[in-house]
């Protein structure tokens, strides 16, 4: 079926293209331009948390749900202490390495590449790098 023979389909296709080009807004944060930071004893943990931030919590607009997103790295044996998220939620997407995630109930759960952890508003969590390689993860903090 040719779109030329069906004006309604042609109009729908044109509208879809116009809508996609006019209203889609994407943000790209090249890794080389990310904000680098080192946090000692993050959340009351041990060692140093190495971060590369697309943006930090003070940068988004009030109505934007994602408040911070970053690549984070913990060296073997280092940790983010068990801490509470009072106003926001936090997600870790494990990229490489292994670790122990302390969940909202204080239970230790092994994590590895491909695992995703979530802590909701009012809940606590922590993370320790347990393997011989650094634990690398993407961190997304959101707030409604």
Would 96 be classed as within a structural domain? yes
pLDDT surpassing 70 at residue 4: no
Domain-located, residue 11: no
Using a 10 angstrom Cβ sphere, with 0-12 exposed, 13-18 middle and 19 or more buried, the burial of residue 110 is exposed
CB atoms within 10 A of CB 135: 28
Number of domains in the chain: 1
CATH code, 98: 2.60.120.10
Give the confidence band of 26 by pLDDT, cuts at 50, 70, 90.
Answer: confident
> Does residue 9 carry a pLDDT above 70?
no
Is 10 part of a structural domain of the chain? no
Tell me which residue of 4, 142, 131, 144 sits closest to 73, measured CA to CA.
131
Examine residue 136 and state whether it is found in any structural domain, yes or no: yes
pLDDT digits (tens, 9 = 90+) for 92-141: 999 999 999 999 999 999 999 999 999 999 999 999 999 999 999 999 99
Query: What is the pairing mode between strands 79-84 and 116-119?
Result: unpaired
Q: Is residue 80 one of the residues assigned to a domain?
A: yes
Give the pLDDT confidence of 61-81 residue by residue, as tens digits. 999 999 999 999 999 999 999
Q: Which domain holds residue 64?
A: 32-142
């Amino acid at each position: 079926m040719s779109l030329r023979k069906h004006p309604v389909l042609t109009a729908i296709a044109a509208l879809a293209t116009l809508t996609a080009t006019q209203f889609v807004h994407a943000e790209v944060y090249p890794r080389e331009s990310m904000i680098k930071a080192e946090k000692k004893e993050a959340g009351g943990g041990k060692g140093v948390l190495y971060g590369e931030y697309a943006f930090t919590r003070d940068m988004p607009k009030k109505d934007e749900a994602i408040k911070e997103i970053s690549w984070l790295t913990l060296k073997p044996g280092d940790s983010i202490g068990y801490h509470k998220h009072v106003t926001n939620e936090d997600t870790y997407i494990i990229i490489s390495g292994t670790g122990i995630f302390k969940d909202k109930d204080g239970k230790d759960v092994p994590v590895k590449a491909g695992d995703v952890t979530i802590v909701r508003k009012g809940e606590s969590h922590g993370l320790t790098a347990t393997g011989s390689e650094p634990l690398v993860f993407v961190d997304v903090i959101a707030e409604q």
